[in-house]
Amino acid sequence: MKELQIQRVLSGNDEHSYFLPGGTFVKSRLGYDIELFDEYGGFRSAIKLPDDTGEFVYLTSQYLNLLDFELREIARSYLRYILERYHASTVRIKYKFLDLFAREMSKGVHINDFLESLSVLENKEKAAYISACKEFLKFLLLCGYEDLSLEVYEDFHKLRNYSGKENAYLALFVMDDARGPFTREEVSVLSGQVNNQALPLEFRLVLDLCLCFGLRPIQISLLKRKDFIKDSKSGLYYLNVPRVKQDSRNRRVQFSSRILTERTASLIQSYIDSAKNPDGIDPAELPLLINSKSIDLERDGNSLGSHYWEDAERLSSDYFSDESKRAILYQKSSGKINYILWGNEHRLPLSPRTGKKFSLCAYRFRYTVGTQAVMSGCSPEELADLLDHNDTNSIKHYFRFTHEMWEILENATLSRIEQKQFTAAWMREGDLVNNIYSHVCEPRNFNVIGKCASQSICFEEPAVSCYSCDRFCPNKDVVAHESALEGLVERKDRLLTVSTANVVSVIDQAIAGCRAAIAYSEGQDVVLINVKEV
């Protein structure tokens, strides 16, 4: 499908029908008019690409203009292709490859030699270069670029395992004290600082949103005041959080609702009341976290890119002149959200875990929320929704590596020799043919509480998640279920001291299921108890 899209782009390669009047502009994915060419037909020295977070990406084109006519036309098609389909941050990465390619081609390097040097490149950008190169080679091939043979194209596309990166979730797996999830004690300290009125209100609000929901910086950046809503019937406050990493062309199309605590709602209202509203903009459309001044990148001494605007007739604010874009002039970028966090680290007490300054990063809070959710009994589907993922493929690691699970496994191995096989099975990372939990044990005294009807591998925490799972078949051992119930209630009480009600509420389902199993064991009629044979 992607190759067909490329073919359609290239079919109009010699026409200007896809450009706006004047033949110098192209529409970006988010609807901005991007000026590509100057009055002489060459690429502009700096192509300015705005984003809906108020940031600009600058693409310098000195080497593109040195390409021969054929390659320059192909580069034009590829640039149009990525501008229309990707957000600004992704375009910047792909353009870095295009700039490298143009620089080497302008030196007279043959494309075969270029591809060979790229495949053995040793730097942190190698993976991004190769990924973009594979995409760009399709354009060369479909345009019939003679210097690129089909054999060379196929060999390059067979490249695998070239990223050289460590596992993206290694910090989570090893509970890294600088980049991994926070401990219970650290969460308690950070939560207490949300109430510290000596700290900046803006920082306290961002800290609380991260603690409660583990939001990505881009999600906090995209929040608007109208996303803060009070339900008139229930009196509850909730936040419509924009979903990201979805397939929607535009941002702020899909949302997920998050119920707010009184503390979070009060912080949001206090922040809105304290912010000055700019004239001429609907207050509801303003960003939740607002810049006091609008974007002005052309002013002298601006380190954010004023030198790129020296030859521009348009101002940076012109890109946001449309009524639907005007509020973006006051938006804080995701980079500024990160700065709000780490820029206030020195104001906090030292970490009780390390005795050093806290290392605040939005993704550490995501790891923490994900780990706490697993400890409270969240299913993979619930965790995927909580962390704003499309499916459960990206959250399986939380079910394999939680601090609580490590403790259970270690204690099981030390106290009961028969649990060694259970421990080894849980640690195994490969796919298993049959279910590893023919018998399920509760994690306090390791009494068997039932069987599992699943015929596929399961990484959910035994007993905790089982009581709310329709694949679980409880037995009639009242003592075992009562022991499990004591553990579940204790866990809920402990989690309530370090986590949010949104996360902990999931464990109530397991408690209800456990009480149903106790009633079932005592011979009472219970609805929805799984009694099928295993």
Supply the pLDDT for residue 247.
Answer: 74
Please state, rounded to an integer, the average pLDDT across all residues of the chain: 80
pLDDT at 164 over 60: no
Of 195, 204, 214, give the one whose Cα is nearest residue 340: 204
Task: Name which residue leads in pLDDT, 357 or 501.
Answer: 357
Supply the pLDDT for residue 21.
Answer: 39
Supply the pLDDT for residue 41.
Answer: 82
Q: Worst-scoring range by mean pLDDT, 148-152, 165-169, 214-218, 386-390? A: 165-169
pLDDT at 489 over 90: no
Give me the mean pLDDT over the 469-492 stretch: 84
Give me the mean pLDDT over the 379-390 stretch: 82
Of 356, 202, 170, give the one whose Cα is nearest residue 268: 202
pLDDT at 415 over 50: no
Supply the pLDDT for residue 157.
Answer: 87
Give me the mean pLDDT over the 111-118 stretch: 90
| DSSP letter string, 5-25 | HHHHHHHTTT--TTSPTTS-E
Distance CA 368, CA 171 (A): 11
pLDDT at 407 over 80: no
Cβ 133 vs Cβ 156: under 8 Å: yes
Give me the mean pLDDT over the 128-149 stretch: 90
Give me the mean pLDDT over the 512-528 stretch: 79
pLDDT at 269 over 70: yes
Q: What are the start-end ranges of the E strands in 275-316?
A: none
pLDDT at 3 over 60: no
Give me the mean pLDDT over the 407-417 stretch: 46
Question: Hey, what long-range contacts does 392-396 have (CB within 8 A, 24 or more apart)?
Answer: 395/370, 396/459
- The 10s digit of each residue's pLDDT in 278-289 is 988 999 999 999
- The 10s digit of each residue's pLDDT in 94-110 is 999 999 999 999 999 99
- The 10s digit of each residue's pLDDT in 184-213 is 888 889 999 999 999 999 999 999 999 999
Q: Per-residue confidence at 88, pLDDT binned at 50, 70, 90?
A: very high
Supply the pLDDT for residue 437.
Answer: 55
pLDDT at 424 over 80: no
Distance CA 198, CA 204 (A): 10
Q: Per-residue confidence at 221, pLDDT binned at 50, 70, 90?
A: very high
Distance CA 344, CA 323 (A): 35
Q: Worst-scoring range by mean pLDDT, 84-93, 295-304, 319-328, 406-415? A: 406-415
pLDDT at 430 over 60: no
Give me the domains of the chain, ranges plus CATH numbers.
2-157 (no CATH), 170-291+331-362 (1.10.443.10), 403-534 (no CATH)
* Token pair belonging to 529: 């108890």
pLDDT at 423 over 80: no
Distance CA 271, CA 266 (A): 9
pLDDT at 534 over 50: no
Bridge partner residues of 26 (DSSP): 34
Q: Worst-scoring range by mean pLDDT, 55-69, 230-244, 460-474? A: 460-474
